[in-house]
Amino acid sequence: MTNVDELLARMSPAEKAGQLTQYFYFRLPAGAEAEPALGLDVAEQPQAVEAALSRGEAGSLLFVTDPGEINRLQRLALEGNPHGIPLLFGFDVIHGLRTIFPVPIAMAASWDPEIIERGQAIAAREARAVGIHWAFAPMVDIARDPRWGRIVEGAGEDPYLGAVVAAAQVRGFQRHIIAGPKHFGGYGAALGGRDYDEANLSDHELWNVYFPPFRAAIEAGAGNVMTAYMDLNGIPATASHWLFTEVLRDAWGFDGFVVSDANAVRNLVTHGFARDLTEAGERAVIAGVDMEMAIADPAYARLPESQAPAEVIDSRVRKILEAKVRLGLFDDPYVNEDRARTVLADPAHRAAAREAAQRTAVLLRNEGDLLPLDAGDLRSIAVLGPLADSKRDTLGPWVFDFDLDETVTVLDGIRGFVKDRADVDYAPGIPVGQRTFPSMFDMFGGNAPADPPGFDAEAEFARAVATAAAADVAVVVAGEWQNMIGEAASRSSLELPGRQLELLQAVVATGTPTVLLVMNGRPLDLRWAAEHVPAILDIWYPGTQGGAAVADLLFGDVSPSGKLPFTWPRTVGQIPMISSHTTSHEPENQARRYWDEASTPLFPFGHGLSYGRFSYGDLTVDRPVVGREGTVAVSVEVTNDADRAAAEVVQLYLRQRHGTASRPVRELKGFRRVVVPARSTVVVEFTIGPEHRRYWNAAVRDWVLDATSFDVEVGGSAASFDVRPAVAEG
Ligand code: BGC
Q: What are phi and psi of 343, to 5 degrees?
A: -65, -45
Same domain for 308 and 371, yes or no, is: no
Residue 583 lies in a domain: no
Same domain for 364 and 341, yes or no, is: no
pLDDT in tens, 211-267: 999 999 999 999 999 999 999 999 999 999 999 999 999 999 999 999 999 999 999
Residue 122 lies in a domain: no
Q: What is the CATH number of the domain that holds 544?
A: 3.40.50.1700
Strands 535-538 and 362-366: antiparallel
Residue 113 lies in a domain: no
Specify the pLDDT at position 443.
82
Whole-angstrom distance, CA of residue 282 vs CA of residue 10: 22
User: Roughly what angle, to the nearest 10 degrees, separates helices 67-80 and 337-344?
Assistant: 150
Whole-angstrom distance, CA of residue 334 vs CA of residue 679: 55
Residue 374 above 70 pLDDT? yes
Cβ–ligand 1 distance for 262 under 6 Å, the answer: yes
Whole-angstrom distance, CA of residue 559 vs CA of residue 371: 10
Residue 347 preceded by cis peptide, ω within 30: no
Same domain for 339 and 361, yes or no, is: no
Query: Which is more confident, 238 or 725?
Result: 238
Cβ–ligand 1 distance for 261 under 6 Å, the answer: yes
Same domain for 505 and 373, yes or no, is: yes
Residue 599 lies in a domain: no
Give the pLDDT mean for 607-633: 92
Which range marks the domain in which residue 466 is found?
353-570
Same domain for 325 and 364, yes or no, is: no
Same domain for 408 and 539, yes or no, is: yes
The amino acid sitting at 197 is D
Q: What is the CATH number of the domain that holds 19?
A: 3.20.20.300
Residue 424 lies in a domain: yes
Q: Which of 538, 555, 570 is the last residue of a domain?
A: 570
Closest-CA residue to 337 (of 27, 63, 66): 66
Residue nearest to atom 11 of ligand 1 (CA): 262
Residue 403, classified by CB atoms within 10 Å of its CB into exposed (0-12), middle (13-18) or buried (19+), is middle
Same domain for 336 and 357, yes or no, is: no
Same domain for 368 and 506, yes or no, is: yes
DSSP letter at 84 equals: -
Same domain for 76 and 11, yes or no, is: yes
Q: 21, 58 in Cβ contact below 8 A?
A: yes
Whole-angstrom distance, CA of residue 70 vs CA of residue 50: 12
Residue 67 preceded by cis peptide, ω within 30: no
Whole-angstrom distance, CA of residue 329 vs CA of residue 539: 40
Q: Which residues touch 670 (CB under 8 Å, ≥6 apart)?
A: 160, 651, 652, 686, 687, 688, 692
Residue 724 above 70 pLDDT? no
3-state SS, residue 263: coil
Whole-angstrom distance, CA of residue 199 vs CA of residue 293: 22
pLDDT in tens, 263-299: 999 999 999 999 999 999 999 999 999 999 998 789 9
Give the pLDDT mean for 405-424: 97
Whole-angstrom distance, CA of residue 279 vs CA of residue 276: 5
Q: Which of 507, 536, 570 is the last residue of a domain?
A: 570
- Residue 554 Cα, ligand 1 centroid: separation in angstroms? 36
Same domain for 426 and 546, yes or no, is: yes
Instruction: For the chain, give percent helix, strand, coil, nearest 5.
Output: 35, 20, 45
Q: 600, 650 in Cβ contact below 8 A?
A: no
Residue nearest to atom 8 of ligand 1 (CA): 261
Ligand 1 atom at shortest distance from the alpha carbon of 153: 9
Same domain for 642 and 701, yes or no, is: yes
Q: Which of 318, 345, 372 is the last residue of a domain?
A: 345
Whole-angstrom distance, CA of residue 198 vs CA of residue 43: 34
User: Which residues does residue 89 pair with via DSSP β-bridges, in sequence order?
Assistant: 61
Whole-angstrom distance, CA of residue 567 vs CA of residue 664: 15
Ligand 1 atom at shortest distance from the alpha carbon of 139: 9
- Residue 227 Cα, ligand 1 centroid: separation in angstroms? 10
Q: 171, 160 in Cβ contact below 8 A?
A: no
Whole-angstrom distance, CA of residue 13 vs CA of residue 231: 30
Cβ–ligand 1 distance for 389 under 6 Å, the answer: no
- Residue 229 Cα, ligand 1 centroid: separation in angstroms? 10
Substitution site in 28, 136, 187, 444 for ligand 1 pocket (most atoms within 8 Å of beta carbon): 136
Cβ–ligand 1 distance for 147 under 6 Å, the answer: no
Substitution site in 134, 184, 187, 226 for ligand 1 pocket (most atoms within 8 Å of beta carbon): 226
Ligand 1 atom at shortest distance from the alpha carbon of 488: 7
Q: 116, 96 in Cβ contact below 8 A?
A: no
Whole-angstrom distance, CA of residue 656 vs CA of residue 633: 17
Whole-angstrom distance, CA of residue 415 vs CA of residue 299: 54
Same domain for 623 and 663, yes or no, is: yes
Give the pLDDT mean for 620-639: 92
Q: Kindly report the pTM of this predicted structure.
A: 0.97
Whole-angstrom distance, CA of residue 129 vs CA of residue 259: 23
pLDDT in tens, 142-199: 999 999 999 999 999 999 999 999 999 999 999 999 999 999 999 999 999 999 999 9
Question: Is 141 assigned a catalytic role?
Answer: no
Whole-angstrom distance, CA of residue 445 vs CA of residue 404: 11
Residue nearest to atom 12 of ligand 1 (CA): 92
| Confidence band, pLDDT 50/70/90 cuts, at residue 669 | very high
3-state SS, residue 508: helix
- Residue 261 Cα, ligand 1 centroid: separation in angstroms? 6
Q: What is the CATH number of the domain that holds 688?
A: 2.60.40.10
Residue 60 lies in a domain: yes
- Residue 655 Cα, ligand 1 centroid: separation in angstroms? 37
Specify the pLDDT at position 44.
79
For 543-563, give the secondary structure using H, E and C: CCCHHHHHHHHHCCCCCCCCC
Whole-angstrom distance, CA of residue 198 vs CA of residue 193: 10
Whole-angstrom distance, CA of residue 477 vs CA of residue 500: 9
Strands 720-729 and 625-627: parallel
Virtual CA dihedral for 323, 324, 326, 332, nearest 10 degrees? Answer: 160
Cβ–ligand 1 distance for 398 under 6 Å, the answer: no
Residue 102 lies in a domain: no
* Averaged pLDDT score across all residues of the chain: 95
**Structural domains of the chain, count:** 3
Segments of 480-559 assigned E as strands: 514-519, 535-538
Q: Which residues touch 320 (CB under 8 Å, ≥6 apart)?
A: 19, 20, 59, 60, 88, 257, 290, 291
pLDDT in tens, 54-108: 999 999 999 999 999 999 999 999 999 999 999 999 999 999 999 999 999 999 9
Residue 19 lies in a domain: yes
Closest-CA residue to 716 (of 558, 567, 607): 607
pLDDT in tens, 319-370: 999 999 999 999 999 999 999 999 999 999 999 999 999 999 999 999 999 9
